[in-house]
Each structure stands twice: as C-alpha cells, then as structure tokens.
Structure 1
Amino acid sequence: MKVLWITVILALSQYEAYASSECCEEYCFGTDKSRPQTLRFTSKTAYTLAKGNDIERNILPNCSPTKMWTLTRHGTRLPSAKTIGKAGHLEEMRDKIVNNYKVLKTKPDTGALCAEDFFSIKTWKFNSSITPEMENMLTPQGWEDLKLLAKTYQRQYPNILTKDYRPQNYLFRRTETQRTEESFKAYVEGLFGTNVWQTVHVSQPDGNDTLLRPYDYCPKWEENNSQKEGTEYMIFQNSALMNKTVADVSTRLGFQYALDFKDIELMWDMCRYEQAWNVDRTSAWCGAFTQAQLKVLEYYDDLRYYKKSGYGAEINSKLPCEIIKDMLFHLNSKTQPNAVTNFAHSTLIQTMITALGWYQDNETLTASNYGSMGDRNWRISKIDPFASNLVAIKYDCPADGVDTEKVLFLLNQNAVSLSWCSVGLCDWSAVMKRYNDFYHANCTETFCQSGASSISYIASMVSLLVAAIVYLIY
C-alpha cells in the first residue's frame, strides 16, 4: 500500500510539472526578422546564410593564382526515405497541437506559441509530391547553391576558372549519387552556361571509391559509428538539460506530458529542411522552438558529428588520406589541369578538416561541458552547411623573395585562420612540411588505420560465416 501511494504521489508531481502554466521565454519565430537560430542548423544550414560575404578581400597584390583545388559537398537535398515516411506522423502532431490549444486549452501562460507561429503549424501540410523514392535528391535551391558558388569563384579567379571549357584545364569528379551528379551539372552551368555539362567530362570511380567515399570501405569506421551506447551525444540526449528542453518544448506546444525525443527531433528536422529549401520563407516547425532550445539541439548534433567524423575518434583523422594527398599533389604539380573540383558528401568534408587539424578546440566536446562551449570552433553550422566547400588556391608571389609559392585555404568563402599562416595565406613550404606524412603516405595501408587491420577484420568475418555454414550443415 505504501509503495502504491508513493507511485501515485510521483505520478501527480510529474503531472503537475508538465501541467505548469509556464514554459520558457516568450519568442515568436514568425515575427522575428533576424532569426539568428537559422545559422545554427548544423549540416542542414542553408549555404546562403552560412557562407562568407567578403571573398573579394582575398585578392593578393603582386601574386598570381596558378592552381585551384576544391572539395564541395552537394547542395540542399530532400530528406531520407525514413524521414519522408514520417510526414504523416508530423501531421498527426500538428492536429494534436491544435487540439491542445483550441479544445483542451492547455497552452502555457508564458512561452506559448504566438498567433503567427500557431497559425503556421495549424495550416502546415507536407508537400505530397515528395515521395520516399525521391530521397536525398537535390532540390531547386541546391541547384542554385552550386550554380552561384561556381559564378562566385569564377569571378574571383577568372584566369583559372575560364568561361570557355577546355578539357585540359579542368578535372571534375563526383560520387555515384543523384545529388552529386546534379550538383556537378549546376556548378558547370554556373561556369560555362546552360546545358554545357553535357559536353563536360566528369570522372567517376572505377571500382571502390576510396578517394571520395573512403568511409564506405573502412570496417573500423563503421564499427565506431555503430556504437551508440555510452557515447557523449547519447549521454547528452539523456541529460537533465535535454530532458528539460524536451519538456519545455512539449509544454510550449500544449502537451501535459513530455514528448518522445524522436518527436522533437522530427520537428527540428522538418524545420531545418524546409528553411533550407526556401530561405526567404519561414518553416512552420521552426516556430515550435525558442532560440535557447535550438542551441541545445545544435550542441547535440555537434557532439554526434564530433564522434562520427570529427576529433571524437582517431580513425577520422586517417580516413581522408587519399583526398588530402590528391590536393597536395595537384597543388605541387606544374602541369595541367589548373582546376580540380570534387563533388562529395558531408563526412568527407568533416574528416578532411579533422585530418588537417582545423577548427579543433582546446577542450574536448563532452556531454557535461555544454555551458563552456558556446564559442566552440567545432560548430558544424559554420563548417559544413549544405554546399560546404573547401578550396585551396596556389599562388605565385615573385616579390616575396625566397618563399614565392603560397597557398590560400578557404572554407565556405572564408579564409581559414591558421596559427602557422598569415590570415589563411600559407607558405607552400610550410604546407608541405606540415602535411608531409600525407604527401608520402601509402593510403591503401593507412586510411583505415592499417590495411592489415581492415583485411584481418574482413577475414575474421568470413571465417565466422564459414564456421556458421559448416555448423548448420553438420
């Protein structure tokens, strides 16, 4: 009986916590003209919001650009089939929110949805023309992202990115996906004009694509990312701060119980996708959150990427061996092509930045130090938005005496600040010294920690499979 009363008391106290008339700070996404949180949407941040706007400042007097090497992520895309399939559940959530506000009258006294945000959610409908078969496809905004990116760099470096296509001057590569294929076409249209892509050669992998998708061929990387239990991002997901955030969002939407984290994540995903698809409009689901709540969700995603493709796992700094070596060889070469452009994916961008040692914090990102990491360097929203691009430009600067060869590193049209360089401009000799191990590496052996480890892993799996078959037969 005593246990029963304790259970009832706990249930009532939990109900009272969620039935509170207070939620969070007052905020209205629909009337906010600045919307700074749209710059904190991690890998789903719109490129037009995240890119640098002062690339013209990188003009170097008395220097001539001679080579250009680029790694570009595809532009804005559609969600996965799994997320598209959950659109119906989101419509159910919409109806429950409307019922909370209009029928149950459970909207909080403070922190409730403003009239504009409530109306947006009430009238929201998922675009029914988007089907699971269209998963991950490039969107019209994604096409514009890449087309404008090409025009921007061509305007800055017209001697390298000439307006007339000459096969000997260019090398284009892409992965075997629709979104990188369309991104390539859009980029080429920006350089040379409409439909010229039909006559432009693009290199595709002949066999395993260890250059642009090395993670697909590294069992150790797969093993690292299959582990979720006990990881920092999972600890953060179950932390008191995240639980409070989930509870506050639930209360803001009129629920008298805490929603499942997956429901919160789904609303956040739809907010980010729709905002990236239509940067000049507002997504209804962005109104579900206050700015403070979105900072918590951003940190969760940064922690997840920190382990998946950042400094949270040693394998990530070895994975992009081939692509770094390719960049160094191209910049060091005196022969054509003058411009190499690769179209790939988020994981390669992030692991390459990790391997190069960029944007590393003095303090490791953990589940417990959210409060001290507000100004962290590892912020995916800035590092890897849609259409993120890492560019290296080789310069000849004869007036500089001994070190006449320079390299300027750009990330999303911003000069990369490196302690051993001058505002992103590095002596080529310093670059070669710093990344000498990559230049001389046998990437086949080192990209997945060691070739032997990968082979032994596969061999052990084959042995287990054979043993299982033998066991079943006999």
Structure 2
Amino acid sequence: MTFYDLCRNYRLYSTNKRDAWCALFTDDELQILEYIEDLKIYFKNGHGHPINGLLGASALKDLYVNFQAATSSDHKSFVGYFSHGTMIDMIYTAMGLYYDYPGISGMERIKNRKWRTSFLTPFAANFVAVLHRCRKVSRYSYRIQFFLNEKELHLCDGRVCSWNSFKEKFEQFANASIEFCDELTDFYYV
C-alpha cells in the first residue's frame, strides 16, 4: 500500500504524467487498490459499523442546535469546526449519505458504488452548512444550503432546504449523545 500511497500523492500534482510509483500498477490494479482503501474506510469510519453513525450524529446535533439558536435571535454568528476526514465520513454515515445497498464487501468489487473515498474524503475534505437569513417584510425566513468539497449538496428538493425541511431532516440529531457505551455491548470488535 505504500507504493499506492506514493502514486496517489504524485497524482495530486500531475494527472497527466505517470511517475515511477504509478508505473508499477496497471489501471485495473489501481482501481482494485482504490476499492481496498474504500472497503477499509467503509468499516472503519462509514456504514460498515453502527458506532460510526452515532459518532457523526454528535456533530450534526451541534449543527442543529446552533442553527436553531441563530433563528431565535437577531445575533449574527459564525460557527466553524475543523476535523479529520474520519469525522467527515462519520457525518456522511449519520446522515445516510452514500449508502450502498447491499453494503460493499470483500466478496466482490462493486465498481459503481456510492462510497468512494477518492471523491468523498480525498486527502482533505469539507462539509459546509450555510444558514441564510432572508428578510420578508417584518420577519425572517431561513434557508439552509449545503456544500461538500465546495460543490452544492442537494439534501432537499432544491438547491436549498427550507427551515421546515431542515428541521425534518436534522431534528433526529437533537438528542444525539456520545454516552452510548451500554448500547455497544452487542457489537463485535476486530
């Protein structure tokens, strides 16, 4: 995997040229290695283990609570969090994004899978939620817009979510907690 990582790092700088590390692999071998990496992260950070969604839900709880507080006051605020790609994968998992059915496994390589870390959490990733406050005569209405790696992510019917649509999707995280040790007794760890 070290040579594969060297190849991937080189391809960050030049997608047209083939260097010595990438020359070690055929295109099919690179796709196989990518699948192995996706499979590893799927179980470590993604839908492959239930704890990952529980951990991601705690970050989404904070998002929901902060947006709810912002809608109940005239105070303008900015809340930013910075994290490793691991947490971003867990947020995807909690939201049910990029879920493959049936789940990916080592039994066969699924070429058209949704869980592709090369696109979702490449060397760096970001998930942004923007709360827009729109003035309507004597009151405000709110719209929420999401971005994944600087590209719009459409979680609702259109480009933005209404406040009610946002609540419908994110209210489930309002009671998220990291106090779930008792719930994990049925999980098997490798």
Q: TM-score range by the shorter chain?
A: 0.7 to 0.9
Asked if structure 1 preserves the Cα contact closer than 8 Å seen for 2:56 and 2:93, the reply is no
Match 2:151 to one of 394, 414, 435: 414
Percent identical pairs in the alignment equals: 30
Letter in 2 for 1:350: D
Distance 1:330 1:283, change over 3 A: farther
Match 2:32 to one of 296, 299, 303: 296
Q: In structure 2, how many angstroms separate the alpha carbons of the residues matched to 1:368 and 1:339? A: 45
Q: In structure 2, how many angstroms separate the alpha carbons of the residues matched to 1:309 and 1:349? A: 9
Distance 1:327 1:410, change over 3 A: same
TM-score, reference length from structure 2? 0.81
Tell me if 1:368 matches 2:107: yes
Per-residue displacement from partner, 1:366-393 (whole Å, max 9, x unpaired)?
Answer: 22231xx322111111110122100001
Asked if structure 2 preserves the Cα contact closer than 8 Å seen for 1:409 and 1:425, the reply is yes
Match 1:404 to one of 118, 141, 147: 141
Distance 1:387 1:274, change over 3 A: same
Distance 1:292 1:423, change over 3 A: farther
Match 1:340 to one of 79, 86, 94: 79
Asked if structure 1 preserves the Cα contact closer than 8 Å seen for 2:85 and 2:124, the reply is no
Match 1:388 to one of 107, 125, 129: 125
Asked if structure 1 preserves the Cα contact closer than 8 Å seen for 2:146 and 2:153, the reply is yes
Partner of 2:173, secondary structure, is helix
Shift of 1:282: 5.0
Higher Cα Rg, which structure: 1
| 4+ long deviations beyond 4 Å | 279-282
The unaligned stretches of length 5 or more in structure 2 are: 186-190
Shift of 1:293: 1.4
Per-residue displacement from partner, 1:153-205 (whole Å, max 9, x unpaired)?
Answer: xxxxxxxxxxxxxxxxxxxxxxxxxxxxxxxxxxxxxxxxxxxxxxxxxxxxx
Distance 1:423 1:289, change over 3 A: farther
Give the 5 Å matches for 1:61-460. Answer: 265-276=1-12, 278-279=13-14, 282-334=18-70, 336=75, 338-370=77-109, 373-397=110-134, 404-418=141-155, 421-441=156-176, 443-445=177-179, 450-452=180-182
Asked if structure 1 preserves the Cα contact closer than 8 Å seen for 2:129 and 2:147, the reply is yes
TM-score, reference length from structure 1? 0.35
Shift of 1:284: 2.3
Q: In structure 1, how many angstroms separate the alpha carbons of the residues matched to 2:128 and 2:49? A: 25
Q: In structure 1, how many angstroms separate the alpha carbons of the residues matched to 2:77 and 2:18? A: 41
Which structure has the highest helix share of the two?
Answer: 1
Q: In structure 1, how many angstroms separate the alpha carbons of the residues matched to 2:84 and 2:120? A: 13
Q: In structure 1, how many angstroms separate the alpha carbons of the residues matched to 2:120 and 2:81? A: 17
Q: In structure 2, how many angstroms separate the alpha carbons of the residues matched to 1:444 and 1:318? A: 7
Distance 1:331 1:282, change over 3 A: farther
Q: In structure 1, how many angstroms separate the alpha carbons of the residues matched to 2:121 and 2:53? A: 17
Partner of 1:391, secondary structure, is strand
Letter in 1 for 2:105: T
Per-residue displacement from partner, 1:61-102 (whole Å, max 9, x unpaired)?
Answer: xxxxxxxxxxxxxxxxxxxxxxxxxxxxxxxxxxxxxxxxxx
Q: In structure 2, how many angstroms separate the alpha carbons of the residues matched to 1:319 and 1:279? A: 36
Distance 1:366 1:326, change over 3 A: same
Q: In structure 2, how many angstroms separate the alpha carbons of the residues matched to 1:453 and 1:333? A: 30
Count of aligned pairs: 178
Which of the pair has the greater relative contact order for Cα pairs under 8 Å at 6+ separation?
1
Partner of 1:320, secondary structure, is helix
Partner of 1:342, secondary structure, is coil
Q: In structure 2, how many angstroms separate the alpha carbons of the residues matched to 1:417 and 1:297? A: 30
